[in-house]
Amino acid sequence: MTATAPGGTSEVRTVPSGAGELAGFGYQQELRRRMGRYASFAAGFSFISVLTTVFQFFALGYSFGGPAFFWTWPAVLAGQLLVAACFAELAARYPIAGAVYQWSTRLSGPAFGWYAGWIMVIGRVVVVGAAALALQAVLPAIWPGFQLVGDDPSPVSASGAANAALLGLALLTLTTVVNVLDNRVLTVVNTIGVTAEIIGVGLIVTLLLTHAEREPSIVLDTGGAGAGALLVGAFTAAYVLIGFESASEMSEETIDPKRTAPRTTFSALTTSGVCGGLLLLGGLLAAPSLVDGRLGTEGLSYVLTSTLGDGMGKILLADVVVAICAATLAIQTSATRMLYSMARDRQLPCSAALSKVPRRTGMPATAAVVVGVLAALLLLLNFLSPEALLAIGTTCIVMVYLAYAMVTGPMLLRRLRGDWPPPPTTDETGRPAFSLGRWGLPVNALALAYGLFMTVNLAWPRAEVYDPTGGHWYFQWFSLLFVGATVALGAAYRLVRRRLG
């Protein structure tokens, strides 16, 4: 663009695409705007990371739902696509870091939006910790030397849970370092991780399908599982198919975000949905046995090494390790941007430090370190009991789903009042921004209903899920206790802040 210099002469100055839009919301361009469409897609796809989460939670879904738990995948995917459609419409109008917090605030009000952001920040920190724990599902299967504690690698055993915490702490150290460097490094690592993951998924699915031991009709076998068991089986898909809005979370670092973020939100979710569904199907078809108990305890790692042999199986598991590292990095980055966005609005303790972005790096380093440290502290729960892994994993999903509903809920109310969507807008190329049009009301209503249903399903205190060995009532009620504590802590902070002026 052409601007007038202070001395009155004309100069040509290049403003990053999207910077003018950001100024319209009252913010300065502090983060480096360098991400193109593939890098934006990588942010969402890395967060979802089907290799990480399917390998981590396949055993859980199968142990409760049997082969028929496969059908929970397309059901959850359909629900999340409804939510993604609402988010895409918001991303086209509010391309700002801290997506859920910013959207909820603008749809409802500062107080409600603050709680949405607060719940999402805490939820994201929990997701970071849960993702780092996924290394335990893979590394000991590659080489027994990665089992640093005890000799039982199962994540639900005492030694496996403790070892998972150690491996997770090491990974969080690495991802935190990357998150304080420069977003060029971050983008390169994410891009490499996503590319490796897509290639890995393709290879794994192809090999599993060519080594099939049974017909696809096996997915109709419930294994005696009833509706309640299938609701628990849906935890696998519910855990995997979140974080697709990370493309919007990175809007302030994306070129032409009003056009790019809505597209990559959908592409990250749909690509992950197809890849994950094929992984589930391939694992069920190629498993040496569906009844020896190993599929419900060791999951896909057992299928790969048993079906493809140690050599090829371990090579593919190494690719899963890359995906886990990229996923943990992407999730931590997303949590950092949420923390930065709220701190920039002076909505958190130590906001000045949390929102500081050094010019040299263009990265909110303090926020990244805080997220890394909090996630690391959460991993210490694994030393207390093996049940902590499932409690941590499920709690983070509950927090995310609740925060999603705190966006789709106010959005639906605005639609019913007739003041959403706002007047049509365009992206930087002059093309109409994404809009649901006449489908907005039914899509939004279904998205909210689905989100609330899944939130209740995930948080329901099932003893057989959260406290199978008995004697740990706090794990059975962990999700509800954690959400309650999060809201109470947030309310206490807001009360103190208001009294202190």
DSSP result, 446-484: HHHHHHHHHHHHHHS--HHHH-TTSS-HHHHTHHHHHHH
134's tokens: 């996924």
pLDDT-derived band at 501 (thresholds 50, 70, 90) equals low
Mean pLDDT of 18-37: 85
Question: Would you say 325 and 171 are in contact if contact means Cβ atoms under 8 Å apart?
Answer: yes
**Of 104, 114, 118, 122, the residue nearest 406 (C-alpha):** 104
Q: Are strands 10-12 and 2-4 parallel, antiparallel or unpaired?
A: antiparallel
Amino acid (one-letter) located at 471: G
412's tokens: 């639906």
Give CA 234 to chain center in angstroms.
16
Mean pLDDT of 132-156: 87
219's tokens: 């997915």
pLDDT computed for residue 2 by the predictor: 33
CA dihedral 177, 178, 179, 185 (to 10 degrees): 150
Q: Is the pLDDT of residue 177 over 80?
A: yes
pLDDT per residue as tens digits for the range 62-107? 999 999 999 999 999 999 999 999 999 999 999 999 999 999 999 9
CA distances from 208 to 114, 171, 217, 304 (A): 46, 29, 16, 8
pLDDT-derived band at 11 (thresholds 50, 70, 90) equals very low
**pTM assigned to the model:** 0.90
pLDDT computed for residue 425 by the predictor: 73
Q: Which residues contact 107 (CB under 8 A, 6 or more apart)?
A: 90, 113, 407, 410, 411, 414, 420
pLDDT-derived band at 179 (thresholds 50, 70, 90) equals very high
Separation of first and last alpha carbons in the chain:
42
**Of 315, 339, 42, 369, the residue nearest 189 (C-alpha):** 42
Q: Cα(35)–Cα(33) distance, rounded to whole angstroms? A: 6
Q: Is the pLDDT of residue 453 over 60?
A: yes
pLDDT per residue as tens digits for the range 111-131? 999 999 999 999 999 899 989
What sign does the dihedral 279-280-281-287 (CA atoms) show?
A: positive
Q: Cα(403)–Cα(382) distance, rounded to whole angstroms? A: 25
Burial of 431 (0-12, 13-18, 19+ CB in 10 A): exposed
Question: Would you say 283 and 208 are in contact if contact means Cβ atoms under 8 Å apart?
Answer: yes
pLDDT computed for residue 389 by the predictor: 66
| SS3 category, 420 | coil
What sign does the dihedral 193-197-203-207 (CA atoms) show?
A: positive
Mean pLDDT of 7-35: 67
Question: Would you say 323 and 54 are in contact if contact means Cβ atoms under 8 Å apart?
Answer: no
pLDDT per residue as tens digits for the range 193-244? 899 999 999 999 999 999 999 999 999 887 677 888 899 999 999 989 999 9
Q: What is the mean pLDDT of the chain?
A: 89
CA dihedral 10, 13, 15, 16 (to 10 degrees): 170
pLDDT computed for residue 8 by the predictor: 37
Amino acid (one-letter) located at 78: A
pLDDT computed for residue 238 by the predictor: 93
Q: Within 13 Å of residue 198, how many CA atoms lie on the same side as its CB?
A: 13
pLDDT-derived band at 4 (thresholds 50, 70, 90) equals very low
DSSP result, 279-346: HHHHHHHH-S-SSSSSTTTTTHHHHHHHHHHHHHHHHHHHHHHHHHHHHHHHHHHHHHHHHHHHHHTT
pLDDT per residue as tens digits for the range 354-410? 999 998 888 999 999 999 999 999 888 888 777 776 777 788 889 999 999 999 999
**Of 246, 248, 243, the residue nearest 262 (C-alpha):** 248
pLDDT per residue as tens digits for the range 273-330? 999 999 999 999 999 999 888 888 888 888 988 888 888 888 988 998 999 999 999 9
